[in-house]
Structure formats: structure tokens, C-alpha cells
Chain A
Amino acid sequence: MRLARDFRGTLIVAALAVLFTLIAPVTLEFFTIITLTQVIGLAILGLSLALIWGFGGILCFGQTAFFGLGAYAYAIAATNIGGSTGAILIAVLVAAAFAAILGYFVFYGRVSDVYLAVITLTVSLILYSLIRRTSGPEYKIGDALLGGFNGTGAPPLNIPGDASAMLFPEHIFYVAMAALILVYILCGRVVTTHFGRVCVAIRENETRAELLAYDTRLYKLGIFTLGAAIAGLGGVFFAVGISRVTPDVFGLGQSALTIIWVIVGGRGTLIGPILATFALYYLTAALGTQQLLNTNLILGIILVIFVLAVPRGVIPTLTGWAATRRQRRALRARERRLRLRRPRGGEVAGEAE
């Protein structure tokens, strides 16, 4: 019952997002639309972490590793193949395959939560320093130069099957938005399936789930790989959005931001981290235009404050707050009815409040 309602909520949000997609190009400026494509890529990244951390309970600090691998794989494959459709598929597969291998070592080694966080972070940092060193002309895959610090160019999307028919930025925006909405619906659907419920059960109590004869390692590996595939897709749109991939996609700053989106948006929701991605992207963009306050400083303060004061995140806190208010109002309404019926007993009920 509740699951069906949850999924209906997902569909309602998705419908609102479709509405936004149709309105945005009409009302917003052309330049904003171009930036939006890259933010959508980031939002897909936030969504992937919302899925594996919020629902799978896997604290992955290096989600950007899969995001960056997706971006690089897309850029390299698209340059070599000459079309974007196959390249997107390759990007998603590369990210998922890498996560499956890494996840095998981590989950089947029964590495604890905290170690997992640090290992994933380390993996993305090593990728960062590795890819930064590839600046020489000898580092290339097929026709694509890796370009080291400066990164490599990412070709725009084209109509499937026709590599010369490039899409215009507003069309890429439609494609990116469609991808975000579809992935959002997919995630909303996955968490209501049997697989998703088992993952939530593992998040709540791994030992108990294991005693109920679920192979928790396999379920964790499954949701981890799915999350990585989604992150890889996010990387594709990010690369297309800025038409370039630089090593910064693997950097510590990007990893930190991803965590902050999910913390601020709230664990256990899917829409929260997406909205937080958009909000914080524009916040950091605004901070970048002034010199007084450093962006890292503000992000650090936000992270510390949320951990100490709002550990559940904005959306769960708001919905929790609304739920208690609704409950209290229902209670008061019932009391009023009781008071009308038995005028003397009302005072006692009032004191009990």
C-alpha cells in the first residue's frame, strides 16, 4: 500500500519535471539552458548517491570516480566512434563494470562502512592524480588524447545513427532532462521493488537481513553497480554540457559536493538531493562571483552545520515536521469533538496535552 503511494509520489514529481522541461526553454535565456545541461548531469550524480547511500546504506565517498569515468569514457568513445549513442552506452558500461570489480573486493571482503567510504574516496583521488599525469602526446586511446591537466574534448550529442546530425544545445537540454526524469522514475521504481526493499532492510540491519537468508553482499554489489551506472550517465551529460572533461571530475571538491548534496537534500529521499544539487550549484556559482567569502569555506560550514544540527537533511526534516503538525492538528480536532460531547471531561484532555 505505502509502496504504491510512494511510487505515485515519484510519478507526480516526474510530471512536474516534465512541465518544467517544456516551460524552461521558453522562459529562460539561451545561456542558462546550456548551463542547465551540465547541472542536470550533476543532479543525476546526486541522484545516484541518493540511491546507494539513502536507500542502500552504502556510504560511497568516491561516487565521482564513476561519474568521471563515465565522462572520460564518453569523450574517448565518442571521439573514436564518431557518434554519441554507442558512446553513452559504453560510458555507462565502463562505470558499472569498474564499480562491479571494486565492489566485489569491498563487499566480498566484508569491509566495514567507514573503510568503504575511505577506500572509494581514495580510488577517486588516485584516478585524479593518475589522469592529471597523462599530459604527454603518448597518452592517448585511439584518436582521443587524454590531455592531462587540460582534459579532453567531449563531442556533443547527435541523432542516433547519424553522426553528422549534431543536436542543438536546447535539444541536448531536452535529452538531458528526459534522462534525469527517466532515471528518477527508475530509481523510484527500484526502491519499491523486492530488490529495493531488501536493500533498505540491509541498510537498517545487515545482520538481521543476513539471518533472513539474503546474501547481503550480492544485494549491496547490485545497488552499488546500478548507482555507478547512473553516475556514469550523469558524467556523460556533464561532459556534453561543458563539452570538455578535465581531471577535476575526480577531485576532492567534486566528491565533497556530491556528499553535501545528499546530506542537505536528505538521505532516504530521491528528490531532495536533486533539488539540493540545483540549489547548491547556483549558490556556489553566486559565491564564485565575489571575493569576500571563499566557496570552500561556505561549503565546509554548511556540511558541519548539517551534520551537527540537521543530520536528516532538509526534505525529511520538512516532511517530518509537516507530519507531526498534521498529527497534532488531528489530535486537537479530536479533543475538540470530545469537549463538545462532554464539556467537563475536556479540561482533563487539555491537560494531557
Chain B
Amino acid sequence: MDQIASDALTIVYGIANLALISLGLAIIFGMMRVINLAHGEFLMLGGYTVVVATNNGVNLWIAMLILAPLVVGVIGVVVERLLIRWLYGRMIDTLLATWGLSLLFIGIVTSIFGASTTTTISPPLGVITIGAYTSSGYELFLIGVAIALMAGVYAVLKLTTLGLLARGTMQNAEMAAALGVSTSRIYMITFGLGAAVSGLAGGLLAPITGVLPTIGVVYIAKAFITVISGGQAILAGTASASVLLGGVNGIVAFITGPTIGEVALLLLAIVLLRLMPTGITGRFFRKSL
């Protein structure tokens, strides 16, 4: 019984991890139809923000929960104004430009911090015991954060004026503009928010994975698969794809080891796309957010 609980927790953590690293990408993709190839680097910058802040004596929690999203969000706004703005409607060029951006960020961070791992943060919150088994309290905390973040995004989109305008812009940008919504501003804010969520995720994962200029690579493959399998709906897509892919990955990895688990995740995603080319939410939960 204890073992089942402990293993289930591991799988749930895998799902939460997937949702956490994908949500920022999903916001930007779902709202703006922009695939941000620099997503991994936003996560990486979040991680570095935490490392730099804690090295300078800032409390770890403040660094992770406030500074990381703030810094990366500002970077996101700057990027949108300087680069993405010129490329709306040209999806392939946006892809290429954000890829250039990703290399640029890797280059800058490598020049400043060097190419090796620079973190010494250990995950806070110690261990918790489930009967005879132990589990990391921090992982439990991350599961909570993933759920809270989903709820937060839902609340912003459903309950605030900004969310209403954003949803309107997402549905029909021209109509929204005709009704007096500054779509350019909405896009800027959306991109900034997506970047901020990515930064938060990167900051939260920094104590577990460490930070490295090229750490983005570790995340982006999984994040892209999750977002594409999920389809256009931000929350329902990310949640359903995370549960499906993360669950299968976790179960297969539990039986055969992590290598095969990742292959299973990829195979499942490709077969899924053959069956549902527009993602899970292209077929089911169409009206959802």
C-alpha cells in the first residue's frame, strides 16, 4: 500500500513537472499562435535568476516565486517588442527568429557564467515519509504549484477584464481591434505573462536540476510534445496532454527504466498526432480554455 502511494506520487510528480514546463509555452502558443523556440531558454533564465539572487543573499522563496517570473517576464516583453512584433502572421519566420534568440541567450549566459553548472542550491522542505517509504517534500510542493498555477491562469482568463480582452483577441483579433481593444498591447502582455510563467517554472526546477546554459534542451522537447499534443486550448490541452503523456512516461519508466519511458512518450505523441492532427483539444473539449 505504501509502495503504491509512493509510486503514484512519483507519477503524479512527472505529470506536474510536464505541466509546469509546458504551461508558459502553451499560453504563448494558444493565444498568439507563436511557437516560441526560445522557451527552454526562458526556463534557463529563470533558473539563473534564482541562482544569482540566492548567491546575493536573497531568500530562496522570494527568488523563486517573485524574482524569477518578474525578471523573465520583463525579458519576454522586451523580446516581444524588439523581435516578435515584426513577425506576426509569419509563423515560420517567428520559429526561426526565436531559434536565433535561443542561441543568443545561450551565448550570452555562457559568456557571463561559463559553460558549467553554477548552482549549489539544494531543494528545500526536506523529506516526507509515507509509511516505510520516503519522498521529497519539494516534489509535493511542486505538484501543488502546478495545480495552483493552472487555477491562477484559469482565474485570470475567466474572471478579469484582461482575460476577457485576451480571449476576445484570441478568438478574433480583427473584431477585437474594431471594438477598440489594443491587440498589440494584449499580445505584448500575453507574451510577457507566458515568459513569466516559464521563468517561474525554470526557477522552481533550478534546485532539482541545477542550471546550465544549455539546460533548455532538456525541457523543450517534452514541452513541445505536450503543447502540440494538447492542441490550442491552453489549460485543457496542457492538462490533458500532461496527464496522458506524463502518465504513460511514468508508468513505462517505472516498468522498464527512464530511457524507454522517454521513447514511449515520443511514440505516443506521434501516434496521437496521426490520429488527432490538431491535438487532443482539437477533437475533445473544444469549447474549453
Contacts and interface: CB of A to CB of B under 8 A. Distances in A.
A307 B97 CA distance: 6
B101 A125 contact: no
Contacts, number: 127
Given A122-B225, A297-B107, 13 more contacts: A113-B91, A114-B95, A118-B224, A118-B228, A119-B273, A252-B214, A259-B96, A297-B103, A300-B100, A302-B100, A304-B83, A304-B104, A307-B87
Interface stretch (A14-22, A103-111, A170-178): A103-111
B103 A110 contact: no
Interface residues of B, number: 42
A126 interface: yes
Q: Which of B35, B95, B214 has the most CB of A within 10 A?
A: B95
B266 A111 contact: no
A115 interface: yes
B8 interface: no
* Secondary structure call for the B interface: helix
Interface residues of A, number: 46
A294 B263 CA distance: 33
19 contacts: A105-B271, A106-B273, A109-B275, A111-B277, A114-B91, A115-B228, A115-B273, A115-B277, A122-B224, A133-B258, A133-B259, A256-B99, A259-B96, A259-B99, A263-B96, A294-B106, A296-B104, A297-B107, A302-B100
A147 to B, nearest CB: 15
B148 interface: no
Contacts of A273: none
A63 to B, nearest CB: 14
Most chain B CB atoms below 10 A, which of A61, A113, A115, A298: A115
A59 B105 CA distance: 23
Contacts of B97: 303-304, 307-308
Interface of A: 59, 61, 102, 105-106, 108-115, 117-119, 121-123, 125-126, 128-130, 133-134, 251-252, 256, 259, 263, 293-304, 307-308, 311
B262 A117 contact: no
